[in-house]
Structure 1
Amino acid sequence: MSRYKKQAYLFLQAALCLLLLCCTSAAFAQRHTISGYVRDAQTSENLIGAAVYDALSGQGTTTNSYGFYSLSLNAGDSVALMASYIGYGRQRLSLKLTKDVTYNYALSPNTSLATVEVMASKEEKIEESTRMSTISVPIEQLKAVPALMGEVDVIKTLQLLPGVQSGTEGASGLYVRGGGPDQNLILLDGAPVYNATHLFGFFSVFNADALNHIELVKGGFPARYGGRLSSVLDISMKEGNMHEFHGEGSIGIIASKLTLEGPIKKDTASFIISARRTYLDVLARPFMNKEEGVVGYFFQDFNAKFNYRITSKDRLYLSGYTGLDKFHTRFENNDTYNNSSYYSKETAGLGWGNNMLSLRWNRILNNRLFLNTTATYSRYQFDIDVQNQDRSEENGEVTRESSSRLIYLSNIRDYSIKTDFDYLPSPSHYIRFGSQAIQHQFRPGAIQLTDEIEGDEINDLKQGSKTAAVEASVYIEDDVRLSDKLKMNVGGRLNSFFVDGETYTSLEPRVTARYLVNDRLALKASYAKTSQFIHLLTNSGIGLPTDLWVPATKLVQPQRATQYAFGAAQTLLDGQYEVSVEGYYKTMKGIIEYKEGSDFTTTISNNWETKVTTGKGWAYGAEFFLQKKVGRTSGWVGYTLSWANRQFAELNYGRKFPYRYDRRHDISVVLFHQLPRNWNFSSTWVYGTGNAVTLTESRYIVGAYETVDSYSSRNNYRMRAYHRLDLGFSKIKTKSWGEVVNTFSLYNAYSRQNPFYMYFAGAKDGEKASFRQVALFPIIPSFSKSFKF
C-alpha cells in the first residue's frame, strides 16, 4: 500500500471510529433534544456564536454560522434554556423535557441605534471555549475605529490585534504571526478573496455596512479550515431584513456608499444590496492641465445577497460581490518648429478586481444534524494596456508614423463545491465533518505586443503558462468535553492536489485543549499542521496588482507549516474584561521568492518556475490581549513580542535573515467611550519596531558612469520605529425618519513622520551622501456624514 493510500485509510478509519463512539454514547443515554435558530427579532438576521445554555444543569452550546443550535438533555428534567448574545437581551424557555422540542429564539437589541455601548450578557466566556488564537470583532466597534480619510476598513481594524501586522504605512495587508499575505485564507460567504485591497493596498474591499460577522483565526485551526498556513479571516454578509425596508449609507471625502435591505416576501425572502464608489477622478479633474497630461483613478464595489426560507428546515442563500479598480494616464505632446511638427500620445491603463458568487443551501436533517452545501465561483484578474503613437511631419507631409500597444492579462479562477455537517449527539460532543473540491485555473501571464512602423506590423502574442489543478479535501473534528475541567477539539484534514500529472497529499492533525484551573482561569494549548498548494509571487508585499498567483508544480513544492501554541485565558470583574496570553512557535517550508535579478517583468515571457527559489521560515513570539466589550467605555490593549526569519539557499549566501516584516515589538491601544448628548469618542495608538530593509553599505564608481553597490546581507538595517495616534468624534442626531451621524477624525494626530521607504541620496550642495526616508501621511483630518433609515 502506498504512503498516500495508507494515510487516507488511517484517517478514514479514525473518523469512522470517532463517529461510531459518539453515536453509541448518544444511543445509550435517555435524552431529548431542543433545537432551532437564534435570530434578531427586528431583522431575522441569524446570530452567529450566540450562547444557548440550561441554567439548571449548566449544559450549553453555541449557534453555528447560520444561527442553528442543538442541545440534548436528560429526559424528564426541568429545563430553563437561556439564549443570549452580546448587545442583545436574553430570552428564556422553561419546560419539562418529555419529548424533542423545536424552538426559535428572537432576541431584541438592548441598545438603541444612537449608541455603540454594548451591554453584558451570558455568552461563552473566553476560558470556557476550547478555541484559542481566535478573535471576533463586533461590527459596531469596527465602524467606530478612527479611519484613514473616513473610510471604515475591516482589515485595518484587524491590524490592531496582537499577532497581526500591517506591513507598511496605511496598507490593508495582513501579516499574521510571521506569515506572508498569500498565507491568509480570506472568505466572504465561503468564497475565497485573492486580492482584498483597493487603491494600491490602502483600502480593503469589504464594505462594513453589508457585514454581519467577522472572525480571525491565527492558530489552533479547526479541521474545517484548510489551504493556508497563517490565518483564516471568515466574513459573513448580512442576510437582509425579513420584516421592514431599511437603508444606510455615508458620504465621505473620497467615497460614498449606500446599503438597502428589506423583505421580498415578508418572513420568507429578503435581500440586501450595497454599493460603494470613490470620486477621486471626478474631484481631481478640474485641477488637471490637459495639455500636460491626465491621471485618473477610481474604485467601486457592489455586494448583493438574497435569502429564501423554503421550509422551516430548508434555506437558500445567493450572494455575490464584484469590485474594480481602474487607473489610467494620458500624456500628449504637439510641437511645431518652422515647417516641422511632431505629435506623440501615450496612454496607460491598469485595472484589477474580484468577482465572487456563492450559492448555499442548508437543511436541518434532524434535530441533531445540520447540513450546509456551498457552491462558489471566485475570479481575480488584472490587466495592463499601454499604447504609444508618434507622428512626424515636414512641410505638411507625414515623414514617420508609428504605434505600439502592450496588453498584459493575468488571473486566477476557482470553482468549488463544499458540504459540511454539524452533528450534536450530546452536550459533550460537537462534531463537524465534510468535504470540498476546488477546480483552480491559473494564468500567471499572457502578453500581446503590437508594433506598427510605417505600415509594417509586428504582432507578437505570448500566452504564458496556463495551468489547471484540482484540490480535494475531507475533514472531521469533535469539540469534546472529557471532564468538567478538560475539553478538547480533536480533528484532522486530508488534502490532495492534482496538477500536471503530479499528486500531492497531506494529512493534517489538529488538536486544541483547554483545562480549567478554576471557574475563571483556563490553560490552553494547540497543535496544527497546515498545507498550502498555491503561491503568491510578489515584488512589494503590499498587495499591488502585479502580484501573480501560481500553483505548486513538479518543480515547485507546496508550502507546509507546523504551529504550536500555548497560553492562558481569564475573565475579570464579573466578565467585563477578558485577558489572554499566548506563546507560539511556527515552522514553514516550501516558501518561494524571486531569485536575485528576477521580478515581475522577467516572468511575463519566461517560465516562472525557473525564476524563483524555495526556502523555509520560522516565526515565534508571545501575545498579550486585554479586551473590554461592555459598558460605556470599551476597547482593548494588545502587545506582541515576535521574531520572523527566512532562509533560502540562493539568497543572502544561504544565510538566515529577518523577514521583511519581522517586528520585535508591536503595541496597540484602542478606546471607545460614549459621551453625553449622543457624542461618541474613539482613539487608537499604535507602536511598532521599524521594518527590516536592505541598504547598501558602500558604493563604487566603475569607469566613467557605472556605479556598483555592495551589500553585506539582506534586511540588514531597520527603519525608524513606527507610532501614530488617531482620534475620532461622532455626533448622532435622531430624525423622524432615522438618524444622522456626523464624524470627524484625525489620522496621525501628532503628525509623526513615519517612514514609508528609504533611498540613497548622493553628496550635493555641501551635504554628505546619506540614506533618507520618505514619509507618506502627515496629519490628515477627515469628515463623513452617515445615515440610517
Structure 2
Amino acid sequence: MKKRFVFLFVIIFSAGSAALGQTVSVRGKLFDKESGRAISNGAITINPGNRSTITDMNGEYLLNCSPGIKQLSTQILGYRQLTIEFSAKSDTVINLYVQVLPFELDEVTVTGEQVKNVRITQHGNLVVTPAAMHETPKLFSEPDLLKSLQLMPGVITGKEGSSDIYVRGGSAGQNIILSNGCYFFLPGHFLGMISPIDLDFLENSELFKDYFPAELGGGASSVISLRFKEPETDTLHAQLRLGMLSSGITAEKQVPELNLNIAAGLKHSNYWLYYPFLNRILSEDVVKYLPHSAYKFFDGFLKVSHSSEKLGTINYLFFGNYDKGKQENETSGLTGDTILFNLDRLSNDWKSQIHALEWEPPVKNKLKWKFDLNYNRLSIRREAFHQTEKRVSAILFDVIQTAYAFSPTVNILGYSATVSGNSDKFSWSAGLSGRLRNFSPNITVNHVSWQKDVEHSFGEGVKVAEPAAFFSSTYHISRKLQLDAGLRVSGAFLKDAHFIIPEPRVRLSYNPGGAVSPHITYVRLSQFDHSVEGTNAGLRSMLWIPVSKEFKPEVTDVISAGFQGQIKEHYVWSIDAYYKKIDGMLDYKSGASFVYDTTFAEILDVIEGWAYGLETGIIKTTGKLTGTMSYTYSRSKQEWSGPQGLIWIPANSDRPHNFNLAMRYHLNDATSFGLNWVYASGLPATIYMHETSYGKYYNTKNNIRYFDYHRMDISLRQRIIKRKYSMFIDLDLYNVYNHNNTFYFKEVFDWYNNVSYFKSISLFPIMPTLTVTIRY
C-alpha cells in the first residue's frame, strides 16, 4: 500500500515540472460600500488579458497577471460597475468597494461565463452555481446539487439514481451541510434519489474536500457550504416552475425603507401525476421498490436580511422539509405442498426544520465579527413489516410476523462566534463554536412466530455537548509562496464519556492562481455521528447513532498533493493524489440481527478504513462550448469481522475508475444544449454463497461487484424573453442509449432446473422529462 502511495506522488510531482513565467499577484476583498459587508460570487476581471474570477464566500479574490498598467473591473448584480486602473509592478492588495444601484426600471439578468461554470478555488475546493447546474442534463428535469457534485473529481457516485456522494473514499454519511452557520444532515426525497436542496433558492455552493479552514468541522469527509440568494432589486420578482416530479414557486423583494431583503419559496411533489408513467415504463421488479402514487414531499424556504451602518448585517434563514411515502407488496409461492403468502409493507417519513440567525456587526478597528445561533430538528420514521402465512390445502398452520420501527429524532442547538482580521501578508480568524444535541434512537422490533414472540427496543436518549475552538490563518511567505494553517479542537461530552480531538490543518502552495501552482495539504477531520449502511440490494437504508462510550468519534487523516493551473484564460485544470486513514467507523457484525440481538454493541463493530486515489479535472470556462471533464482513480478498503476473522474488504465507495464528461454548448443567448457521459467501475455488493440449515451463508461482505456503470444524458434549454417575464423550457433525456445499469441483483429460482441464480435488475431506461419555468 505504501508503494502505491509513493508511486502516486511521484506521478504528481513529475507531472508539474513546468517553467513559471514572471507574474504579479493581485488580491483583495470585495465589499458593499455602505454596510461594509463582504460580497461573495462577484465577478472580478483584469485587463489586458481578460482574466476573471469569482469572489469566494468571504468576498476574497486572487488574480495573476504580467507586470504593467492594468484595469480591475467588477460585475455584480444590483451594484454599480467599478473600474480601477493601477500599475502592477509587484504583488498588490486592492480592496474593492461597490455601491448599490438605487433602482432598476426593468429586470436585468447577468449570466457571465464564469457564473455558468464550476470553479476550483485556490484551496482545491469546488464552487458550483445554479446557473451551471441548470445548463446540464438532469434526472426527472430536477436541478440537483448533489448529482452535479457527482460529476466532480474526487467524488464517487452511489447507486443508480441515488443522490449519495462518496468523497475521497469516505462514506455517504461523512458529508455535512453548512448554511448560515448551521451544520445539518438531510435525507433525500424519492427514497434518496432527489436531494432536497432546491436550486431555486440557492446562490452558490462550495464543496470543501481538500483544505478545510479550521472554522469548518462536523464532517469526516467533506463540508458542503450553501449560500442562499437575496433579492436583486426593490421590484417584486416571482418564479413558477412546473416539473414532472415537482413544482415550485419563489418570490423575492427588497424593502428599502426598512433595509430588508426577503426571499421565500415552496416546492411540492407532483409524483401522483408521474407515477402512472413510471408504472408503465419500468419493470415490476423496480416498481415494487418505488413509492406508491400517494407519496409526497414539500420543501419550504425563507430568508430575511437587514443591513445598516449601525447594526451591520442580520440574516435569518428557515429551511423546512417534509417527506412521506408508503408501499405494499403481496407475493405467493409453493414449497412442496405448502403455499406461502408473503406481505411486505414499508413506510418512509422524515421531517426537518432549520432556523439559523447570523449577525455580522460593522467592521471596527479592522476586525470583522460574526455570531451564529441556530436550531435544527430532524425526525425520521422508517417502518418495515413482513408477514408470511403457511397453508396446506387452504388450512392455515403457521404465521410469522416481523415489524421493525426506526424512528430516530435529533434536536440540535448550535452557536458560534468568530473574529477575523487581515493585512497585506497575513489574514486570520479565530473563534468558538458548539452544538448541544438531544438524540432519541426510538428503534423497536416485534417478532411473532409459533416458536416464540420477541419484542425489544434499542438504545436510550443521549445528550451530547460538542464545543470547539479554532484558529485559522493565511500567510504570504513571499511573493509566490503561501502558507495556510490552522488548528481546531473539537470535543464531545456525554454523561459517561468525553472525547477531545485536536484537528491540525496545513497547506503550502506556490504561485496560487498562476499558470502552474503546486501544493501539499494535510488535514484532520472528526465527526461525532455514526452512519451505518444496511444492505445494498435495492434502495439504501442507513442507521444513525451518536457517539457513545462504546463508539468513539470517527477521525480521518488526509494528506494530498498536486497541481492546479490555468491555460491562458480559457482552461482551468487540477491533478491531485491523496491518502486517507479513517478510524472509528461502524459496520454491522456478521450475522447481526435486530430480532435476536438486544443492544447496539451486539450488532455493530468498530472498524478502520483507508483510501487512496488520483483525481484529475479540466474546466473550459469561456466560449460557446464550456464544461468539465474529470477522471478519478479511487480505492477504498475497510475492516470486516467475518467467520474467518478480521479481514480487509472493499468499502462501498471502492470504485476504481470514474470518468465524467459534462459539456454545454451555447448556440445563442436563448438556446443551449447539454451532454453528460458517465462511466464508473461497478459498485461492491453482497450475495450469499449457499444455504445451510441455519440460513444463508455469506463468506464476506461486498464479495462481488456489479457490472461497470455507464450512461449518456442530453438536454435542450430554450429561453424566451419578454418585457414583463421570461420563460425557460428544459427538455432532458436521461440514459440516451438505454443501457441496463445494475440497480440490484434479484434471486430467481429456476423450477425446471431446480437451481437459483441472480438476475441483474435495472432501474431507469431512457427517460424523457420536461420542465417549464416562468420568471416575472
Report the TM-score, using the length of structure 2 for normalisation: 0.80
SS at match of 1:244: coil
Deviation per residue, 1:723-756 (Å, 9 max, x gap): 0100000111112311111111100000000001
Residue from 515, 518, 523 that aligns with 1:523? 518
1:214 aligns with 2:205: yes
Does the 8 Å contact 1:160/1:638 carry over to 2?
yes
Q: Any residues of structure 2 matched to 1:460-499 within 5 Å, and which? A: 464-499=459-494
Pairing 1:655–2:655 present: no
**What residue number does 1:415 align with?**
413
Task: Determine whether 1:596 maps to 2:583.
Answer: no
State the alpha-carbon separation in 1 of the partners of residues 564 and 757 from structure 2.
48
1:535 corresponds to which of 519, 524, 530:
530
- Contact kept? 1:326, 1:350, Cα under 8 Å: yes
- Structure 2: how far apart are the matches of 1:193 and 1:772? 38
Match of 1:621 among 613, 627, 630: 613
Q: How big is the alpha-carbon RMSD for the aligned residues of Structure 1 and Structure 2?
A: 4.3
Q: Secondary structure at the match of 1:609?
A: helix
Q: Is contact 2:509–2:517 with CA below 8 Å preserved after alignment? A: yes
Paired with 2:344 and 2:640, the residues of 1 have a C-alpha distance of 41
**2:166 is aligned with 1:179:** no
- For 2:537 and 2:81, locate their aligned partners in 1 and report how far apart those are by CA, in whole Å: 44
- Secondary structure of 2:592's aligned partner: coil
**What does residue 219 of structure 2 align with?**
228
Distance change in 2, residues 1:348/1:494 (3 Å): closer
Cα drift, residue 430 of structure 1: 1.7
2:186 is aligned to 195
| CA distance in 1 between partners of 2:649 and 2:682 (Å) | 15
Corresponding position: 1:745 with 2:740 = no
State the one-letter code of the partner of 1:183.
Q
Check if 1:761 corresponds to 2:748: yes
1:258 match = 249
Aligned to 1:5: none
Q: Is the Cα contact below 8 Å between 1:276 and 1:300 reproduced in 2?
A: yes
Deviation track 1:126-183 (CA, whole Å, cap 9, x = no partner) reads 6xx6412x01112201112211111111100000001112210000111111101221
Partner Cα separation in structure 1 for residue 227 and residue 119 of structure 2:
22
Secondary structure of 1:750's match?
A: coil
1:166 aligns with 2:157: yes
DSSP 3-state at the match of 1:364: coil
CA contact (8 A) 2:534 2:540 kept: no
Instruction: Say whether the 8 Å CA contact 2:519–2:562 is kept in structure 1.
Output: yes
5+ unaligned residues in a row in structure 1: which ranges?
A: 1-32, 72-77, 333-344, 390-402, 452-457
- The separation in 1 between residues aligned to 2:151 and 2:166, in whole angstroms, is 12
| Residues 1:450 and 1:309: Cα distance change in structure 2 (over 3 Å) | farther
Quick one: distance in 2 between partners of 1:70 and 1:114?
25
| 1:509 equivalent in structure 2 | 504
Amino acid at match of 2:321: G
Find the counterpart in structure 2 of residue 3 from structure 1: none
Cα deviation digits, residues 599-638 of structure 1 (max 9, x gap): 56677xx332332101110100100110012222211001
Structure 1 residue 461 displacement after superposition:
9.1
79-88 vs 732-741, which moves further: 79-88
Matched, 1:586 2:580: yes
AA partner of residue 657 (structure 1): I
Corresponding letter in the other structure for 2:268: R
Q: Measured at CA, do residues 367 and 675 of structure 1 come closer, stay the same or move farther in structure 2, by a change above 3 Å?
A: farther
Aligned to 2:17: none
Q: Secondary structure at the match of 2:146?
A: helix
Q: How does 1:317-716 map to 2 (within 5 A)?
A: 317-328=315-326, 349-366=347-364, 368-384=366-382, 409-424=407-422, 426-445=423-442, 447=444, 464-516=459-511, 519-540=514-535, 547-573=542-568, 575-598=569-592, 606-649=598-641, 653-676=645-668, 678-697=670-689, 699-700=690-691, 709-716=696-703
Q: Which amino acid aligns with 1:537?
A: V
Aligned to 1:782: 769
- Matched to 2:264, the amino acid is I
| Displacement after TM superposition at 1:709 (Å) | 4.3
Q: What SS does structure 1 have at the residue aligned with 2:441?
A: strand
8 Å Cα contact 1:745/1:782 also seen in 2: yes
**1:299: how far off?**
0.9
Shift of 1:524: 0.7
Bigger drift between 179-188 and 153-162 goes to 179-188
Q: Offset at 1:39?
A: 9.2
- C-alpha displacement of 1:648: 3.4
Task: Name the aligned partner's letter for residue 476 of structure 1.
Answer: F
* Aligned counterparts of 2:651 and 2:357: Cα–Cα separation in 1: 39
Report the counterpart of residue 9 of structure 2 in structure 1: none
Q: Which moved more, 1:81-90 or 1:737-746?
A: 81-90
Alignment length (residue pairs): 694
Following the alignment from structure 2 to structure 1, what is the Cα–Cα distance between the partners of residues 77 and 613? 31
Q: Which letter does structure 2 place at the counterpart of 1:681? A: F
Could you tell me which of 114, 129, 140 is aligned with 1:138? 129
Counterpart residue number, 1:309: 307
Deviation of residue 46 (structure 1)? 6.8
Corresponding residue for 2:759?
772
Cα pair 1:696 1:710 within 8 Å, conserved: yes
Report the more deviating stretch, 506-515 or 651-660: 651-660
The 3-state SS of whatever aligns with 1:365 is: coil
Matched residue of 1:209: which SS?
helix
Q: 1:249 to 1:518 in 2, by over 3 A?
A: closer
Distance change (3 Å), C-alpha of 1:114 and 1:220: closer
Q: Identify unmatched segments of 5+ residues in structure 2.
A: 1-26, 64-68, 88-93, 280-290, 331-342, 388-400
Select which of 274, 277, 289 maps to 2:268: 277
3-state DSSP class of the match of 1:302?
strand
SS, match of residue 762 in structure 1 = strand
- Is the Cα contact below 8 Å between 1:659 and 1:692 reproduced in 2? yes
Asked if residue 720 in structure 1 is aligned to residue 712 in structure 2, the reply is no
Cα offsets for 1:393-417 (capped at 9, x unmatched): xxxxxxxxxx999976321221011
Q: Distance in 2 between matches of 1:37 and 1:252?
A: 38
Aligned to 1:153: 144
Identity %: 23
Q: What one-letter code is carried by the residue in structure 2 that aligns with 1:644?
A: S
Q: What is the deviation of 1:471?
A: 0.5
| Maintained 8 Å contact 2:559/2:578 | yes
Contact 1:742 1:783 in 2 (8 A): yes
Distance in 2 between residues matched to 1:414 and 1:717, nearest whole Å: 39
Find the counterpart in structure 2 of residue 335 from structure 1: none
Q: Which residue of 1 aligns with 2:11?
A: none
My pick for the range that moved more, 772-781 or 626-635, is 626-635
3-state DSSP of counterpart to 1:670: strand
> CA separation in 2, counterparts of 1:768 and 1:407?
35
| Residue of structure 2 in register with 1:21 after alignment | none
User: Are the counterparts in 2 of residues 242 and 266 from structure 1 also a CA contact under 8 Å?
Assistant: no
Kindly provide the amino acid, as one letter, of the partner of residue 725 in structure 1: M
CA contact under 8 A between 2:594 and 2:603: conserved in structure 1? Answer: no
Residue type at the aligned position of 1:595: K
Q: Deviations over 1:332-379 (max 9, x none)?
A: 9xxxxxxxxxxxx99874311211110011113326211111111111
| Residue-by-residue CA offset, 1:217-241 (whole Å, 9 max, x unaligned) | 1122221111221111111111233
What residue identity is the alignment partner of 2:602? Answer: T
1: CA distance, partners of 2:62 / 2:680:
44
Asked if structure 2 preserves the Cα contact closer than 8 Å seen for 1:38 and 1:63, the reply is no
Q: Which moved more, 1:664-673 or 1:320-329?
A: 320-329
**Which structure: larger Rg?**
1
